[in-house]
Structure 1
């Protein structure tokens, strides 16, 4: 036995030495990410094994790890998020920082002039995080709101690169003033022009929807408030992040137009109809032999549209320590337009800096410098600003080639006089210049000083400066430049505002059951602007374009202007929390504005809200499936001041006339003085409930609201004897009421696979209550100017009891089929067989304006959005669907291309037009101008409802590699992939009149929407 023991001891010693040789000691420290204090008792385990240890009282640990591989350590601690760290060949691990676990209710959201825990919010506030912004490559920050927030309708009014969107939060409040929300960028209110804001810099976006949340912004809060917070520096390890993506945009949909042979037959048919009964008939433009030889001809849409690339590059530096934190970013974005020679470019530099001077004193800087370039295609060959070159591409004859036999651009349309004389859209797009260059600097500096424990003084100074230069040149060798022999326009607009805000914040938990947060402030903001422009024509050479205006012989009258306005405010808000479950908010703001009359310079905007966290009651403890239940009630008054400057004053403008060879200039009065002019006032109430089940795996937010806007800033007609057409008065009222729902669910959650869903749906009903005693008013922007002599007239109506955006016109009743039918009907309207027939609502035998009725509504029945997010291993997939239901769109393209001008190309549907042998159709005969001379009709009013697969993103996180690259991922994204709709135009989400309240959902050759495919890369160092 002893001999056997002697043999075992050396073997055991050898094994022990071998084991020691295969392990190495690794040491490290674990800290709290919040304050970088050491964390004792943290579990440290080698991934894939049961080998581990825990940190000592100083947060330090020592652990033997195997040699010859690259082990991963897992750090976990109660109340903190678990994290992993790769050891590599190091014997010392870099300090590991654990983040505290927070429930969604403990998340901090930004509110006006402060922050709150989500659990303590009493108003209706929605939040979008940086992660959600990063899911979708976008050109503008406001695009991220589309379909993702209940109660918020976002419409892409212009799909041109750099084009605007229209945002309505809980409906349309106003008739003659702005309905867009107030944007606040890093605390700077009025920070619009979102084209210059880089979306990759965004940390979070908060949307304040009800009056209790927006009243802190007083006279500018009636349309809701969007708070944009950019990324700040984080203490700890310095990081470098790089992102790049590139992609291509293609046309989503096209109009099916006549080809060359079909259009020639149509022109012959029009001439045949026009020659009936004519004493001097024109010959037919084409013989049958010529028609047979034409074939397909030119597809001008294909010629003017192109696949367009887009790309984005972002480089950012983030880090700092307990005293100084920084975030520095550089961005370049380049998007071609799908119309030739259009596009948008943006370059930005952002520096956000936070500096702690002492325990009581700190400073912060949020700053950005940006430059943008818009290449526009908004003017057509007639010089009009609607439709642009696309209007010409739809109108011009497909028989005309782009270039002649010598390779030169064909000058204009043919054959005259059978067609409208329009220019070559390809020549216009390629040879003209229409650029807008904007430079912007946005700076906001704040100092914070703790006067007493819990009492902080914050002083802010900000500046927003924007300068825009317009540069236009139309050469003499294109159709539009023929009359002026070349024309140039140069102009500059400068806008800037400075801001000073002074706030005192008292934030203390008084005892175990009482907490108080009080904010009081005094702010000043002043806005300035000036502009200058001049035009020159009759150039003897096109060589220098607009770079030397002296080459133009004819200098037109220059224009210039200057304006300023100011806003002074003081406000206060009290948040009181009792027993952690009774929450009270009281707000008051007073605004004084130079825009309003001398008798009403100041407006006052109070609000109050109460929230009851029922879930914290003792009797709720037994309901384990219910994890949150909060009831919210709120009421408040907010204002709207979005009118032009000086409307309350008696203004004068320059006017002149020719006297012989001289031009005499003088002043003429422009408007009537109104010293009583004041803010619109919106009183709003809100009832909301927040529910969560199964440890917050299911959460529901529901709100019902009612808003009434009174003292509308309404343009009211004045008697002709005054010498003025109208005046701004405080008169009339509008109401909005609706309900909103948001549902968030965690459907599956495991280490390898997770699936979550976010759904929102909103219903809003808008109604005009009063129009200064009028029952109805005909409106509709300047639609009649689109079709000179067409009789189109105004397309919409404001009527008591009806919503804003009600289309007003005639009801289509088929086509007249025979002379006998016309004779027997008793109609007094001059018509022919094949002409459209309209309902004679008053039965007088004539179609007159009194036969019009409300034929559709632009306001939708409801809007919604659904996002599904999936993760499997290193893969992630996001699918976003957006929808609008129950809205109508006025398709003025069909109005013109089916039966408007008889001398322009037509839709393919017109091939099936009425003839004596083809009567089973709704398309009028060739040459019929009845629809055009009557006005809008419900057969060109289409259902604009749609369901859109808005965004699909598939990403893959690459395994960690090397010491330099800390993270890496790749992704592909498809946008506007599929749209299910009955709308026949380019896109149902359209408004050619932008944010015009009185001409909603009108499609007149709007820039086509695109389907986009993107591939991107993200790297972290």
Structure 2
């Protein structure tokens, strides 16, 4: 029995050993779940053993496994979720790996392609569709304000449809453009964002360093903003609807004199004039008249109203694996806070993606839009500066809006005691100035996969843009009385045609090497056509500008046309070694018709390196750090915004009348410059991306240095040439700065979550060279500054930043004749006049005593966003701040000095009336400031902290009866510009009345006031 047992045991052992020695071969392929491409270098392990292999370049593998048993294979690769597959009786196992759903694997759009965020070597910031949807906005670029480090967004004009100014890492240019290049769905140069519906946006990428922007060559120096609109998604078709409505009110008003105060002021002016001129002119008002006055007209209240806005968005999205679509309709209507101001936009967008075959894909993106802007910026006395706002501030509060007959008060009274001006309410309601824009933005692209990993893309696009401006000033308002009504009709047609041809090779060569190469050839042409016609002396105001032929005096029409072409070659190589060493090399060659004959081509290279330290083996045990990447880049980019034909000799029109015959001739208008070329910016960047605690805390920090040379400057030439200057490439500017952004997940649970995003930026700008000159005077000023005073408000000075305000240092008020005599000052001044610093000590105040009295560019800017979710309730709070910037308040100049016969600030009631009465406000009839120009007391601290937006939302619970139809529903309430903490005395410290001009930064003159807005809306998904 024992022998039998022993025999059986030996037999079982032999059988077991025999079975163990028998194996079978399992083969298969591993594919990417993103694009179905084979994945090389994937680890394949038999679970619970050391048996393992890896996929080859075609994603194939072979593994010997035990002949018996149904084990489990584990597939894993960096950047993908591990996947398990159970072995059956078969010999083939094919699997698909899904990319890890982490922020590092998010795809960001870069020039002419996309990249995983983990692989980006340059400085690129992203704003997602979710962030765009957090706050209702009128313009797409407004979402960048305070949300992206290194980007300063300024609302230069708060009028509905008004523009914003964007500076990415400082001001590079003096006379050329400083705005970034906008790329919409791959179409570069699509810069008018008023017509882009923000709700259509999927993402916004901001390319900041030369590594990211050099692919755009001569247009990349100011940074690049890439806007990608929503595409169709395969799956069930969806319908989305959003609607909101809101009200707006002026956020702040100036405190002005009322009627009795202004009457007393006018009497004071005349009394002082009589004393100084030894005249006996009667005072404008008697004491009995003043005593009988009420507070009079508040002209700010008269022109302001409660603004209203509404927005409606309807979207359709869906498709299958072969055909995907996104169709949207939008209507936006904003009624401004000033009478007759407003903005309307209607748009239709259709994006299609079609998989024609396994090798051919076609994409089509399109938008057709129409906008209407009602403008109120022309002033009521016919001047080029000023407007309804400024005239409302200056108009006499003694005058009523309407007279006893119910007609509008025609003009300011009594003359000559007051400044002549028209009734701003009558002008705002009676005149018309409408700007209508019709735009079509179309882009069609086909993509052909030549071989695996190699794709050819051919795209053709067009940006068709037509502006129609219709302006009519009737004879019933003061401005139109002299011309008996005047009309202007103008049209601008801009056409841009684009052809792009690119080859992309994207291949993971093996487990340790990956390559992405892009090469391209593009052509783009820009055409501008414009005309305008004007007439006056109309026998009726009924037709406005619809029939300018009925004007008895038809003025000479004006028309013009210009065009420029850009041809480009470019290439970029991205090489990834061991998944942690990242290299990028870029080169672009631009040939532009704008450049001179001797400089037709510009070349713009860049290189970047990134080191993913986190993927080193020695980092695997440091669990507190979840990501760490170091970046460095250097490159050269350009700015070709020099205008068409600037390098060529041009001729201007000369016309005069001999008898009744109009004679027309031409004459040279400039000196040609065959060497004229682009402005060139060399930039370096050093950055770090680091995350902690499983990405709950992530930090991005960058230091950059930029030098722009070959600035476009007007250089003086001898008068014997027949001209005073020539446009040349001369001079240089420097920008250097630091950026920091912090994202934290403070709490994250089903019941409560809290996220914080913070960004901080500082930039230091400095003029390095002005073609050998030490300084130049620039900037625009108030219309009431005495013509003998310099009109310049700023100085370009070597060693100082662009935007340096230049003028006289205000020291107070001259109090007594003895004080004037003791000072030795030789200027004609009297007690009650302002006193200025004699910086050179020559006992006279003149242009040599001017100095830098403020700086427009801020010391730093920041933004903080906090998002909270309490179950179905969401709360989003956004705070924006600017620190260390100054604002030139020309409105205050007008309202404290300026014309002595216009209304003033209420503080002027406490003006100087005798020794010791005031050391800040001059006497009533002082004209010294008007004769002097810009002074330090009207340069104010423009720093501010603003609760920019606060939104509370609620996801509505859906009854079971509708859940099959309605997928989601929510309501929300948003407040904008709720609280602003600032020392600035004007309407708003965020201002630039002269638009995107780099030479008149932070100048407040007749700016449309900012508003406080409340919005309520609803979102429904089907």
TM-score (norm: length of structure 2): 0.90
Distance, in Å, in 1 between the alignment partners of 2:332 and 2:412 is 38
**How do residues 336-375 of structure 1 correspond to structure 2 at under 5 angstroms?**
336-375=335-374
Deviations 1:876-908, CA, capped at 9 Å, x for gaps:
100000000000000001111101110100001
State the partner residue of 1:238.
237
State the partner residue of 1:512.
511
Q: 1:875 to 1:79 in 2, by over 3 A?
A: farther
Distance, in Å, in 1 between the alignment partners of 2:381 and 2:404 is 26
1:784, distance to aligned residue in structure 2 (A): 6.0
Moved more, 745-754 or 379-388: 379-388
State the partner residue of 2:1006.
1005
State the partner residue of 2:148.
149
Specify which of 806, 809, 815 is matched with residue 811 of structure 1: 809
State the partner residue of 1:732.
731
Is residue 968–residue 1019 contact of structure 1 (8 Å, CA) maintained in 2?
Answer: yes
State the partner residue of 1:983.
984
Is residue 123–residue 634 contact of structure 1 (8 Å, CA) maintained in 2?
Answer: yes
Whether 2:907 is the aligned partner of 1:906: answer no
Is residue 512–residue 579 contact of structure 1 (8 Å, CA) maintained in 2?
Answer: yes
Q: 1:142 to 1:478 in 2, by over 3 A?
A: same
Is residue 784–residue 794 contact of structure 1 (8 Å, CA) maintained in 2?
Answer: no
State the partner residue of 2:121.
122
Is residue 885–residue 941 contact of structure 2 (8 Å, CA) maintained in 1?
Answer: yes
**How do residues 113-192 of structure 1 correspond to structure 2 at under 5 angstroms?**
113-192=112-191
Moved more, 791-800 or 739-748: 791-800
Specify which of 791, 795, 798 is matched with residue 796 of structure 2: 798
Distance, in Å, in 2 between the alignment partners of 1:733 and 1:623 is 46
Distance, in Å, in 2 between the alignment partners of 1:463 and 1:647 is 25
State the partner residue of 1:869.
867
Distance, in Å, in 2 between the alignment partners of 1:172 and 1:505 is 34
Specify which of 900, 923, 928 is matched with residue 930 of structure 1: 928
State the partner residue of 2:878.
880
Is residue 914–residue 924 contact of structure 1 (8 Å, CA) maintained in 2?
Answer: yes
Is residue 882–residue 948 contact of structure 1 (8 Å, CA) maintained in 2?
Answer: yes
Q: Tell me, what secondary structure is at the counterpart of 1:973?
A: strand
Q: Tell me, what secondary structure is at the counterpart of 1:173?
A: coil
Whether 2:395 is the aligned partner of 1:390: answer no
Moved more, 324-333 or 963-972: 963-972
Moved more, 523-532 or 789-798: 789-798
Q: Tell me, what secondary structure is at the counterpart of 1:901?
A: coil
State the partner residue of 1:678.
677
Q: Tell me, what secondary structure is at the counterpart of 2:597?
A: coil
Is residue 427–residue 477 contact of structure 2 (8 Å, CA) maintained in 1?
Answer: yes
1:660, distance to aligned residue in structure 2 (A): 2.1
Is residue 387–residue 1007 contact of structure 1 (8 Å, CA) maintained in 2?
Answer: no
Whether 2:329 is the aligned partner of 1:327: answer no
1:726, distance to aligned residue in structure 2 (A): 2.0
**How do residues 36-115 of structure 1 correspond to structure 2 at under 5 angstroms?**
102-115=101-114
Distance, in Å, in 2 between the alignment partners of 1:554 and 1:208 is 52
Distance, in Å, in 2 between the alignment partners of 1:476 and 1:337 is 25
Distance, in Å, in 2 between the alignment partners of 1:168 and 1:858 is 13
State the partner residue of 1:574.
573
Distance, in Å, in 1 between the alignment partners of 2:879 and 2:838 is 43
Distance, in Å, in 1 between the alignment partners of 2:469 and 2:912 is 48
Is residue 827–residue 845 contact of structure 2 (8 Å, CA) maintained in 1?
Answer: yes
Deviations 1:27-85, CA, capped at 9 Å, x for gaps:
xxxxx996899xxxxxxxxxxxxxxxxxxxxxxxxxxxxxxxxxxxxxxxx9599xxxx
Q: Tell me, what secondary structure is at the counterpart of 2:642?
A: coil
Q: Tell me, what secondary structure is at the counterpart of 1:832?
A: coil
State the partner residue of 2:894.
896
Q: Tell me, what secondary structure is at the counterpart of 1:547?
A: coil
State the partner residue of 1:10.
none
Distance, in Å, in 2 between the alignment partners of 1:404 and 1:990 is 36
State the partner residue of 1:400.
399
State the partner residue of 2:47.
none
State the partner residue of 1:251.
250
State the partner residue of 1:1016.
1017
Q: Tell me, what secondary structure is at the counterpart of 1:734?
A: strand
Deviations 1:770-799, CA, capped at 9 Å, x for gaps:
00010111111x426564526252011011
Distance, in Å, in 2 between the alignment partners of 1:818 and 1:80 is 88
Deviations 1:161-180, CA, capped at 9 Å, x for gaps:
01000000000001110000
Specify which of 854, 858, 861 is matched with residue 860 of structure 1: 858
State the partner residue of 2:48.
none
Distance, in Å, in 1 between the alignment partners of 2:489 and 2:584 is 52
1:653, distance to aligned residue in structure 2 (A): 1.5
Is residue 80–residue 100 contact of structure 1 (8 Å, CA) maintained in 2?
Answer: no
1:281, distance to aligned residue in structure 2 (A): 2.7
Q: 1:572 to 1:441 in 2, by over 3 A?
A: same
Q: Tell me, what secondary structure is at the counterpart of 2:893?
A: helix
Distance, in Å, in 1 between the alignment partners of 2:800 and 2:435 is 40
Deviations 1:262-301, CA, capped at 9 Å, x for gaps:
0000000000110014343310011111001112000000
Moved more, 965-974 or 387-396: 387-396
Is residue 385–residue 783 contact of structure 2 (8 Å, CA) maintained in 1?
Answer: no
1:507, distance to aligned residue in structure 2 (A): 0.2
Whether 2:716 is the aligned partner of 1:717: answer yes
Q: Tell me, what secondary structure is at the counterpart of 1:179?
A: coil
Is residue 386–residue 1006 contact of structure 2 (8 Å, CA) maintained in 1?
Answer: yes
Q: Which ranges of structure 2 fall in alignment gaps of 5 or more residues?
A: 1-31, 38-79, 84-96
Is residue 125–residue 207 contact of structure 2 (8 Å, CA) maintained in 1?
Answer: yes
State the partner residue of 1:843.
841
Distance, in Å, in 2 between the alignment partners of 1:947 and 1:359 is 54
State the partner residue of 1:969.
970
Is residue 259–residue 298 contact of structure 1 (8 Å, CA) maintained in 2?
Answer: yes
Q: Which ranges of structure 1 fall in alignment gaps of 5 or more residues?
A: 1-31, 38-77, 82-97
Q: Tell me, what secondary structure is at the counterpart of 1:622?
A: coil
Q: CA RMSD in A?
A: 1.6
Q: Size of the alignment, in residue pairs?
A: 934
Distance, in Å, in 1 between the alignment partners of 2:898 and 2:596 is 47
State the partner residue of 1:271.
270
State the partner residue of 1:212.
211
Q: Tell me, what secondary structure is at the counterpart of 2:901?
A: coil
State the partner residue of 1:601.
600
1:568, distance to aligned residue in structure 2 (A): 0.1
Q: 1:685 to 1:328 in 2, by over 3 A?
A: same
Is residue 792–residue 932 contact of structure 1 (8 Å, CA) maintained in 2?
Answer: no
Distance, in Å, in 2 between the alignment partners of 1:787 and 1:400 is 25
1:662, distance to aligned residue in structure 2 (A): 1.9
Is residue 783–residue 792 contact of structure 1 (8 Å, CA) maintained in 2?
Answer: no
Distance, in Å, in 1 between the alignment partners of 2:390 and 2:717 is 37
Deviations 1:88-109, CA, capped at 9 Å, x for gaps:
xxxxxxxxxx997511101000
State the partner residue of 1:994.
995
Q: Tell me, what secondary structure is at the counterpart of 1:195?
A: helix
Distance, in Å, in 2 between the alignment partners of 1:956 and 1:384 is 51
1:558, distance to aligned residue in structure 2 (A): 0.5
Is residue 378–residue 385 contact of structure 1 (8 Å, CA) maintained in 2?
Answer: no
1:719, distance to aligned residue in structure 2 (A): 2.2
TM-score (norm: length of structure 1): 0.90
1:661, distance to aligned residue in structure 2 (A): 2.3
Deviations 1:611-657, CA, capped at 9 Å, x for gaps:
00001111111111000110000000000001111000000111111
Q: 1:33 to 1:388 in 2, by over 3 A?
A: farther
Is residue 740–residue 763 contact of structure 1 (8 Å, CA) maintained in 2?
Answer: yes
Is residue 785–residue 791 contact of structure 2 (8 Å, CA) maintained in 1?
Answer: no
Q: 1:36 to 1:175 in 2, by over 3 A?
A: closer
Q: 1:34 to 1:115 in 2, by over 3 A?
A: closer
1:597, distance to aligned residue in structure 2 (A): 0.4
Q: Tell me, what secondary structure is at the counterpart of 1:139?
A: coil
State the partner residue of 2:45.
none
**How do residues 633-712 of structure 1 correspond to structure 2 at under 5 angstroms?**
633-712=632-711
